[in-house]
Amino acid sequence: MKNYAKPGEVMYHVGLSVEMLQGAKYALVPGDPGRVEGLAKAVDKKAVFLASHREFTSWLAHVAGEPVLVISSGMGGPCITFIVEELGRLGVTTFIRVGTTGSLQEDLNLGDVVISKAAVRMDGASKAYAPVEYPAVADLDVTVALRDAAKELKVPFGLGITVTTDSFWPGQERYDSFKGYVVRRLQGTLQEWQALGCTNFEMEAATLLTLCSVHGLRAGAICGVVAKRTDSEAVAPVKVYQTAEKRFQKVAKRALEKLRMVMEGG
């Protein structure tokens, strides 16, 4: 039996209530609180601020007449658990992670977007919800909507398996950390994930996909490439960030429009 919020009840971490969401079933979830306002206004110029509590900044937008919550998760899998647990209680049924990523394949360039059809569970948080054998798989309708939106908008994209880690440095086999050391069990993993055809590194998708599957919710993920790990460990300059951001904003909006039509049977 699902534990939905009571009328007027404010969720402890995200600082939101059912009434504040106005019936929103969809949530766009960037990691960075600083990315929320821009994303909300990109999908709806009349979007309004809702709350800012801890790392969770939220705005309410409307897409094709449908209320859509735009809320930051903060970085990493543990923060995603708060989003899914509390927004699920508030009636949100569909989550789309929107963020940035490092590509692992030569044909994924800076500024492209990557759509996750599944994720490797190198995080820790999802293991509190399901054994490691349980797959982190994106919802089919959400994934198809994102893919078709990117095609329609002529946004360069890749569709593949994301590697989600808890660590930006050793977890993604980066050597530009303070000490410059990667533990032995993680040395060589970059090449291994590339050989296995994985598309990108990031820090939230696997947790989101696993939790939503466990809870009977829908989830997908789209990220803009701001580091090309086949070339270097460096993060791209601001101009690349801006290109990637504009692209995933447009694709997310169009995907929401398509999902609404699917839900209405149109």
Hey, which bits of the chain come out as E strands?
Answer: 26-29, 48-53, 56-63, 66-71, 94-103, 113-122, 136-137, 157-165, 200-202, 218-228
Bridge partner list, 227 = 102
169-171-173 Cα angle (round to 5): 65
Task: State the Rg of the chain over Cα.
Answer: 18
183 exposed, middle or buried (CB, 10 Å; 0-12, 13-18, 19+)? exposed
Q: How far apart are CA 247 and CA 251, in angstroms?
A: 6
Dist CA 156 CA 153 (whole Å) = 9
Catalytic site positions: 13, 86, 174, 229
Nearest by Cα to 92 from 204, 202, 14, 203: 14
CB atoms near residue 48 (< 10 Å): 11
CA distance 214 to 218: 10
